[in-house]
Amino acid sequence: MKDARLEQQIRFLLEIDQLKQVERRSYLADGSRRENSAEHSWHLAMMAVLLCEHLDDPGIDLLRVMKMLLIHDLVEIDAGDTYAYDPQGQEDKYDRELACANRLFRLLPEEQRDELMALWQEFEEGISPEAKYAAALDRLQPMLLNYAAQGRSWREHGIHSRQVLARQEAIAEVSQKLGDYSRGLIQDAVAKGYLKAQG
């Protein structure tokens, strides 16, 4: 006899396998190829575990953060990866992603559908301490990869330091230490020619 709940969960898990095919703008640290969104989500979850000791607020719910990080980009299966420095793409990003969230999470049993949708919305709203930490990591990770790959993606898209600094402000909101680190990395990237000064 088939277990309907299990069948729903398996169907969802197979559907989200498509995230491995969504190519991002960031290159791997060695610059050999672009990362995909599933790799990005895994990397963020690892960062959440390792870097939480540097948070200004140690009382954060780490499991909640990890859940957010593992699901926040599932919507890219339909919506694609919207480049952080593409103002035109940002205009309808939320609507495209919401449509995918509704489609994907509907595959799950009702209470899991509701939980994942609530977590996705919490990440998007960015108000809770957990959502702020998740968003900070989502900004730090591409910057780390860009720096390690000698600014390859930044150079390809003509990105300048003011743009990157503006995106990094969210990091200092949750961790002064990580914020200082990211600003230092940006300064070094400019000095090494990985990133244009100002703009």
Residue 65, exposed/middle/buried by CB under 10 A (0-12, 13-18, 19+)? buried
What is the CB neighbour count within 10 angstroms for residue 57?
Answer: 12
d(CA 18, CA 115): 21
Tokens linked to 126: 């960015």
How far is 56 from 127, CA to CA, in rounded Å?
Answer: 16
Mean pLDDT of 80-86: 85
Task: Specify the pLDDT at position 85.
Answer: 86
CATH superfamily name and code, 4-191: Hypothetical protein af1432 (1.10.3210.10)
CA 141 vs. chain centroid, Å, equals 8
Q: Is the pLDDT of residue 2 over 90?
A: no
Q: In a 3-state reduction of DSSP, which class is residue 45?
A: helix
Long-range pairs for 45-54: beta carbons < 8 A, 24 or more residues apart: 45/69, 45/70, 47/137, 47/140, 47/141, 48/133, 48/134, 48/137, 51/137, 51/175, 51/178, 52/133, 54/175, 54/177, 54/178
The predicted pLDDT at position 199 comes to: 59
Report d(CA 191, CA 149) in Å as an integer. 15
Name the band, by pLDDT with cuts 50, 70 and 90, for residue 90. Answer: confident
Identify which of 73, 180, 62, 67 has the alpha carbon closest to the alpha carbon of residue 129.
62
Collapsed DSSP state (helix, strand, coil) of residue 23: strand
- Strand runs (DSSP E) across the chain, as ranges? 23-27, 34-36
For the chain, the domains span 4-191
Task: Report the alpha-carbon distance of residue 93 to residue 90 in Å, rounded.
Answer: 5
For 23, the token pair is 């190519």
Could you report the per-residue pLDDT of 146-169, keeping only the tens digit for each? 999 999 999 999 999 999 999 999
Is the dihedral angle over the CA atoms 193, 142, 128, 106 positive or is it negative? Answer: positive
pLDDT by residue (tens digit) across 29-80? 999 999 999 999 999 999 999 999 999 998 999 999 999 999 999 999 999 8
